[in-house]
Structure 1
Amino acid sequence: MTNQPYGGGYGYGGHGSHGAQEPHAPYQQPRSQPQAWPGQGYDNAYDPYADQQHTQQWQGQTWETQMQPPVAAAAPVTPDPVQVSEPAPGSGQVPEPAPVAAGEPEPEYGPATLAGNARITDAQRARAEGRSPIIEPGMQPALLTAVLGLLLAGGAALGTYALLVPLVVLQGVTAAGWFRLNGMWPARQGIALGFLGALAADAAMLVSDRSPGVILGTLGVWVLLSLVLQLRSHADPDERMYGLMATVVAAALAIAAGGYLAADADAVVVGAVAVAAAMVVRALPVGTAASAVLAVAAGVGAGYAVGGMASEGALVGAGAAVCALIGHRVAGYDYPSRFVHFTAGVALPLAAAGPVVYTLGRVLG
């Protein structure tokens, strides 16, 4: 029994009819009969309307016929025997050994890794192999930090507006370095937002006779502004949260560096010189622990010497040196690039010492 809707009812086929026409049918032009496919039977083979039974005919225009371009038949794709499908980076899977065509040399493989996948970052490989993901900036960024610190000290000795020039440079490099340290580049919007927050805090301090309260006020406004901008982003929730934290911290560090502008001139001179001395000593080719101790000692000695051989200068120098070491350590974390070393590695030691220089300068008089 056939499942065709026109099978045998109109004289164009049926079981055993072999396509014979009825006697009362009008004369028709002889036509070639299509060949029946295996398993199809004789119903479709001798039925001239068989091609219409499986093809739906539209009698009007629809939006699809107007909008959709004609689709060409896809050519069969012959798989390439030499291509190897590699797993996604970080998946830990080993790629399959692909078949090699006859007469071709065997593929060469790189050295084995403990992680089992060569497509990982340097920091991930260092953690997998038990090594530290920290690369210290080195002597060249330390020398740049020392130069910028001496410019801050000289500007503070000359006056407020002379201090403002190297301070603005420090704040801009701080914002850019923090974003690059977090792997977000170019991130022009976040860098500009953090830098504008620092400029707004500087302008507010100049208007308010260097009142430190405007630093906290500006920071609160910029946190709210960063939150509003991230809520308008169309990125994934995780990426938006990551961008929000990077923007807030970059603005906070750049604004906190304005502590040099709010501090007394003598405290700025002592603190900036102490940071310069500590960073140069920290970059010496000795052990990490030994160089850290020597750096603090250098900061204490520089503060004591510049501060008029007084204990207050030594305390300011010690606090500035410790904060500078913290910023130096952060700038070397997670296998940073040379660009990070020459931005965050230069600016973070000075920016981290800004609030301490202001606080100790006010407390110690």
Structure 2
Amino acid sequence: MNARTAPGADAEAPAGRGPTRARHRARSPIISPGWQPALLTAVLAGLLAAGASFGQWAALPAVVLLQAVTAAGWFRLNGMWPARQGIVLAFAGGLAADAAVLAVDEDDVPGALLGVLGVWFLLVIVLQLRHRGSSDERLDSLTATSASTLLTVVAGALLAAVEVSGAAVAVAAGGVAAATVVRALPGPPALTSPLALAAGFGVGVWASGQDIGTPALALGAAGGACALLGLRVASYDFPSRFVHFTAGVALPLTAAAPAVYPLAVALL
């Protein structure tokens, strides 16, 4: 990946030159994270599902961990490292979102999350005023920090969904875990991707026989589809192993957050 800089970041060493670099760029830029990050995603999804069964405070540690890995992974995915200030700011936005979700009534959650986003986007702009790089570097830093903040704050919607229905979050997390693991199996994407979607839907089919009923079908399918979306993003532009073990672990579950909350509200 091309190295860029962000506030507090040191520029990465340039990639290798000559035949090695030519061979590297000749390959497909889409490299899937693989089975090890998939297992970590499944573990994180399992922690979230287990905590969701006992309420928001029990689910909070898993959500906070997800937000931390998301913040770091997004910057590294964009070629920015260490980018300490941006990562801390984005992660702090996620913590503020969690606090807002825990502090307000269920009906006020969307407004609380939007309020946190508004304040944190203002802080992002203030941070960029201290950036001494070129205009291109400032633009890269602004977009990466804003996107990372958006993702960490939106991940707080999982905590809000727990208040609506812990079972809904558990089913969606199960769909994410199943789809991520199946997608990591050996085989062409044309085969493993449909199987991954089927695995997510299968979790919903199984859960529909429990207390949650028919809405579990939509939740499981949404979890599987969002997992594939997150994996695709984490696979782009010759990602490093560090990207795979951060963004590749977190994004499948983070991508499900904006789908799980409205589905839980609408269906349950």
State the TM-score bracket (shorter-chain normalisation): 0.7 to 0.9
Structure 1 residue 357 corresponds to structure 2 residue 260: yes
Aligned partner of 1:206 among 99, 102, 105 = 102
Structure 1 residue 226 corresponds to structure 2 residue 124: yes
Rounded to whole Å, the distance in 2 between the matches of 1:227 and 1:280 is 38
SS in 1 for 2:239: coil
Structure 1 residue 280 corresponds to structure 2 residue 165: no
Rounded to whole Å, the distance in 2 between the matches of 1:259 and 1:284 is 30
Which letter maps to 1:212? P
Aligned partner of 2:169 among 258, 264, 268 = 268
Rounded to whole Å, the distance in 1 between the matches of 2:23 and 2:91 is 34
- Contact between 2:98 and 2:159, CA under 8 Å: does it hold in 1? yes
Could you report, residue by residue, the CA deviation over 1:141-183 in whole angstroms, capped at 9, with x for unpaired residues? 0000000001000000012111001110000000000001111
What are the ranges of 5 or more consecutive residues in structure 1 without an aligned counterpart?
1-116
- Contact between 2:223 and 2:256, CA under 8 Å: does it hold in 1? yes
- Relative to structure 1, the CA distance from residue 164 to residue 248 in structure 2 (aligned partners, 3 Å threshold; closer, same or farther) is same
Moved over 2 A (4+): 124-127, 306-311
In structure 2, the partner of 1:289 is: 190
Q: How many residues align?
A: 245
Matching of residues 147-162 of structure 1 within 5 Å: 147-162=43-58
- Contact between 1:212 and 1:262, CA under 8 Å: does it hold in 2? no
SS in 1 for 2:131: coil
SS in 2 for 1:164: helix
- Contact between 2:75 and 2:87, CA under 8 Å: does it hold in 1? yes
Aligned partner of 1:248 among 146, 158, 165 = 146
In structure 2, the partner of 1:324 is: 227
In structure 1, the partner of 2:81 is: 185
In structure 2, the partner of 1:341 is: 244
Rounded to whole Å, the distance in 1 between the matches of 2:53 and 2:242 is 31
More helix by share: 2
Matching of residues 111-122 of structure 1 within 5 Å: 118=18, 121=21
In structure 1, the partner of 2:207 is: 306
Matching of residues 43-82 of structure 1 within 5 Å: none
CA displacement at 1:126 relative to structure 2: 4.7
Rounded to whole Å, the distance in 2 between the matches of 1:209 and 1:120 is 57
Higher relative contact order (CA 8 A, sep 6+): 2
Percent identity, please: 58
Could you report, residue by residue, the CA deviation over 1:35-82 in whole angstroms, capped at 9, with x for unpaired residues? xxxxxxxxxxxxxxxxxxxxxxxxxxxxxxxxxxxxxxxxxxxxxxxx
What are the ranges of 5 or more consecutive residues in structure 2 without an aligned counterpart?
1-16
- The two structures have a TM-score, normalised by structure 1, of 0.65
Structure 1 residue 315 corresponds to structure 2 residue 241: no
- Contact between 2:174 and 2:223, CA under 8 Å: does it hold in 1? no
- Contact between 1:137 and 1:332, CA under 8 Å: does it hold in 2? yes
SS in 1 for 2:37: helix
SS in 2 for 1:158: coil
- The two structures have a TM-score, normalised by structure 2, of 0.87
Could you report, residue by residue, the CA deviation over 1:224-249 in whole angstroms, capped at 9, with x for unpaired residues? 21012102211111100100000000
CA displacement at 1:223 relative to structure 2: 1.2
Choose 1 or 2 for highest CA Rg. Answer: 1
- Contact between 2:180 and 2:196, CA under 8 Å: does it hold in 1? yes
- Contact between 2:38 and 2:181, CA under 8 Å: does it hold in 1? yes
Rounded to whole Å, the distance in 1 between the matches of 2:73 and 2:130 is 25
Rounded to whole Å, the distance in 1 between the matches of 2:114 and 2:206 is 32
Greater shift, 308-317 or 237-246, is seen at: 308-317
- Relative to structure 1, the CA distance from residue 193 to residue 120 in structure 2 (aligned partners, 3 Å threshold; closer, same or farther) is farther
CA displacement at 1:214 relative to structure 2: 1.1
